Amino acid sequence: MSDPFSVFLSDLNLSTQPDLLFWAVCCIAVLSVSISKSGFGGALGALSAPLMLTILPAKATLAILLPLYLMADFWTVWIWRGYAVKKLLFWMVVMAIIGQFLGYLFIEVIDDSTLKAVIGALALVTGGRYWLRVFRPQAAARPRAAIRHIRRRFRQRSAIWCTLSGLSSFISLTGGIGVQIFMLPMAIHRFFFVGTLAWYFLIINLAKIPLFFELDLFSPQTMGISFILLPVIPLGVLAGKWLNRNMSDQLFYKIGHLALVLLGLRLIWTAVG
């Protein structure tokens, strides 16, 4: 490394030079999470961290992505303002904060691979049940009575899935999967789905900031990379909004459940690999 910026980044112990490929990978990761947050509620954004980990150490990845996640969250909240289901959001956030606190307390005790395997298996079950209904010859839409029952039990379900989301979000950056398992079966309109999750991710990501400072994850180098990547976010957020507004609820939920299955498979693969 010879140029001043490369020297500036040398403390990050990069696995590759900060060349065109490095920045291309970073831009793709940020673009994917921005499109995912504003278009699909954030599930596809779980692919951004593994992509960044191919060129950066784990701690640097966390420190670079969190400010970018927050900026994407602010943009998404603004774009989908007025679409949050407030009663649902309150319980989701409370349980997720409890989960994050548990993750902070037991980060040295909980095995990351086991947690990923469990979450991956649950994602596969949830997504698999949906696709079984789609492809069976006698399959029909989920009965309205079943959906009403799921919606009535949102407090009990949030205590399980949103607590798990907060826990896994802090430990392994997989919080989006737990909350997707919570949200998808309720079959709410896609605008309210994304609007509610926009506030959810904004609040739980803000709650991580003091914990990240205490763990000394941020540095001038990580903040510098985050700053350079900021212009990618509005492009992804606006693209995600366009995609959401130009699809049906049926297509939206098919994409969401497909993402759940793929992410579940990826988590299990990384856990046993």
CB 225 within 8 A of CB 113: no
DSSP state of 141: P
Output the pLDDT for position 194: 94
Using alpha carbons, select from 39, 40, 63, 38 the residue that is nearest to residue 52: 63
- pLDDT tens string 191-220: 999 999 999 999 999 988 888 888 788 888
Q: Is 114 exposed, middle or buried (0-12, 13-18, 19+ CB in 10 A)?
A: exposed
CB 179 within 8 A of CB 37: no
Average pLDDT over residues 153-175: 86
DSSP state of 142: P
Residue 6 confidence (pLDDT) above 60: no
The tokens describing 76, both together, are: 């998404």
Residue 1 confidence (pLDDT) above 50: no
Which residues lie closer than 8 Å to 196 by C-beta, 6 or more apart? 83, 84, 85, 88, 89, 92, 183, 188
